[in-house]
Each structure stands twice: as C-alpha cells, then as structure tokens.
C-alpha cells in the first residue's frame, strides 16, 4: 500500500512507524516519528528519529522546516498517518510517498 502526502524534506528512509501524540514519548534512532503535527516540544524526538510523517501541515509547517534543517526525510499532510503505528514503512520525502512494507 502506498500513500501520498506532500513532500517536505528530501531523502528516503525505512523504519518502524512510531505514533506519538505527546512530545515526551520515547523514540529510537531507527524509527519514523508519526504524529498529527509537530511543535517545538517535539524537536528532541525529531533529532533522534530516522524520518518524520505528519497528518497535517504543508511545505512551510514546523515539521517540514525542522526536518530540512536536520536533513531528515519528511512527508506532511498524510491523512492516514496515525493508522501506521508499529508498521514498517518507507518514507520518500522527495516524492511525498509513504509505502507500507
């Protein structure tokens, strides 16, 4: 299954999706941060994770800007994002796609 969001920060990464509703949750370096949208409180988790997917936002949202600064692949505006918890996914920030593997 391939989902289409908006490309926000180029690059490709594969990892386990970890849905986080609050910024104080734990996330590993090989996991993909998946959330509704990010705020500055999410930056420590954004630094640790391998990539970022958000349900809301556009090319100039917080997640997109921080992901570009950190050099992390990022897809935003993916309506199905919060359904991906625990699933292995491939995030392609260059095309805006998220593929369930």
CATH of the domain at 21: 3.50.30.10
Percent of the chain at pLDDT > 70 equals 100
Active site residues: 62
Q: Which residues pair with 12 in a beta bridge?
A: 92
Tens digit of pLDDT for each residue in 8-57? 999 999 999 999 999 998 999 999 999 999 999 999 999 999 999 999 99
- Number of domains within the chain: 1
Domain span at residue 76? Answer: 2-100
The residue written with tokens 């369930």 in the block is 100
pTM of the predicted structure, to 2 decimals: 0.96
Burial per residue of 50-68, b for 16 or more beta-carbon CB atoms within 10 angstroms, e otherwise = bbbbbbebeeebbbbbbbb
Q: Residue 16: CB partners within 8 Å, gap ≥ 6?
A: 30, 31, 32, 86, 87, 88, 89
Q: Which of 57, 84, 64, 61 shows the shortest CA–CA distance to 2?
A: 84
* Cβ(5)–Cβ(93) below 8 Å: no
């Amino acid at each position: 299954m391939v989902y289409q969001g908006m490309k926000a920060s180029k690059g490709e990464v594969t990892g386990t999706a970890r849905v986080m509703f609050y910024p104080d949750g734990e996330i590993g370096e090989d996991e993909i941060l998946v959330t509704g949208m990010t705020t500055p409180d999410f930056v420590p988790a954004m630094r640790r994770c391998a990539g970022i997917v958000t349900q809301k936002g556009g090319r100039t949202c917080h997640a997109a800007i921080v992901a570009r600064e950190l050099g992390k692949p990022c897809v935003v505006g993916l309506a199905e994002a919060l359904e991906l918890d625990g699933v292995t996914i491939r995030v392609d920030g260059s095309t805006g796609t998220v593929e369930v593997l």
